Structure formats: C-alpha cells, structure tokens
Chain A
Amino acid sequence: ETGVTQTPRHLVMGMTNKKSLKCEQHLGHNAMYWYKQSAKKPLELMFVYSLEERVENNSVPSRFSPECPNSSHLFLHLHTLQPEDSALYLCASSPQAGQGISGANVLTFGAGSRLTVL
C-alpha cells in the first residue's frame, strides 16, 4: 500500500466505550498529524508528532490520547467521548513537522475515520 491509510473508516461508539483509530503511512515521512473536521467548522489541528515525539498538543481534552510507536504509525485512543466529539478524524503525514518556510512541507492525508458518538 502507498500513501496514508486510516482504519476504521467508520466507527460508532457509546460514551462509555474505549476505541482506537489507526493511521499508517508508507511514505517515509517523519511527521504525523491528527486533525478533527466537524460539520460547519474549519479543520482543527489536534496533535503533531515528529520522529515519534509529540511536538504539538492543541489543547485537546484528555479523553483523546495519541500514541506514535514509530514514525510510520499513529493511533488516537478514545475513551468516554461526548456526542460533540462526533466528526471526521483525519490523519496526515509530511517529510518534516510543520509547514515552515524552510521546508514548505506538503501534507499527505488519509481518507479519514468517521466517528459517531451516541
């Protein structure tokens, strides 16, 4: 497989469940990201990992817990979510972290995991 792969594509969970979203990239990139896309809202950056280290946590509630065991895999562990957490969760990767002027990294996105919290 090439590009960025996200699983599952669709997930329905209750507020007391624990589930995880998985992201995998086969591009040799060093940085990975989680974005949240809610209806009628701009894309919201949640977390940034660079070489498996978290470099950005955008004031995300602790019920979202990221994990990056290596530069190719990124997880988002979910527990005791709220209905307002229902959204499309997008994973992305880039050669380096950020889109700074020195690199102007292009983000490669996965197709997203559509989460519904009942």
Chain B
Amino acid sequence: AQKVTQAQTEISVVEKEDVTLDCVYETRDTTYYLFWYKQPPSGELVFLIRRNSFDEQNEISGRYSWNFQKSTSSFNFTITASQVVDSAVYFCAPNDYKLSFGAGTTVTVRA
C-alpha cells in the first residue's frame, strides 16, 4: 500500500533559523510525483513545488530548497533564514489514486 508520512507534527523556531521538513513516501510505483503545499492561517493551501521520481536534483527557489532521494523515498523541504510569514502548515502529497495528503507539519516562526 502507498503511504505518505510526515513524522514531524510541529516545529517551532526563532526567526532566521533554518527549518527542514521531512516527508517519506512508501510506494511500489517506480514513477510518481510528490508535491509540497503550504497552508497559512488564512486556510488556503498553496502549491509550492512538485518533483518527479526521475529527478533527484536538488532545487532552490529563494529561501526554499528541496532534496529528493528516491533510494530513501524522502522528499525533504528546507526553509532557510525563516521568517514569521513562513508560519503555516506544510503538507507533502503524492500523486496517488486517493489524492491523499500527509498529516502536515505545523511550523511556527517566532520573532
């Protein structure tokens, strides 16, 4: 069975600290996509990034970076020099037939 796990329930940091969020996707599929979404307090989930299982290159976009390792089925997400506006719930989601989402990690950045 396919399963997406976000082991970290909550992370609290002080502004300017780096934050790394873990996501592990267990599947027998050899090709798949993984997505990250952000849900700020306003409630609206916002798409951040998608990666396919063939592409293990790290990607950096501003203060965000992603590390996908197919061998460990992990798709980790790092926020560098965190800011208060990064406070949100972050969801990892595979493109499985159930359109499921991970349980989410709540990130709180304190000023």
Contact = CB atoms under 8 A, between A and B. Distances in A.
Given A106-B47, A106-B50, A107-B47, A101 B100 contact: no
A42 B101 contact: yes
B12 to A, nearest CB: 18
Interface in B48-73: 50, 52
Contacts of B97: 98
A111 B32 CA distance: 27
Q: Is the interface of B mostly helix, strand, loop or mixed?
A: loop
Nearest to B52: A104
Contacts, number: 60
Interface string A100-112: 1100111111111
Contacts of A111: 42-44
B35 A42 contact: no
A40 to B, nearest CB: 9
B91 A43 contact: yes
A45 to B, nearest CB: 5
B99 interface: yes
B53 to A, nearest CB: 9
Q: Is the interface of A mostly helix, strand, loop or mixed?
A: loop
Interface string A30-47: 000100000000110100
Interface residues of A, number: 24
A45 B32 contact: no
A83 to B, nearest CB: 21
Contacts of B102: 42
A88 interface: yes
Contact of A101 (B31, B98, B99): B31
A111 B43 CA distance: 5
Interface string B21-52: 00000000001110101000011111100101
9 contacts: A56-B99, A98-B97, A98-B99, A99-B33, A99-B95, A100-B95, A101-B31, A106-B47, A109-B44
Interface of A: 33, 42-43, 45, 48, 56, 58, 88, 90, 92, 98-101, 104-112, 114
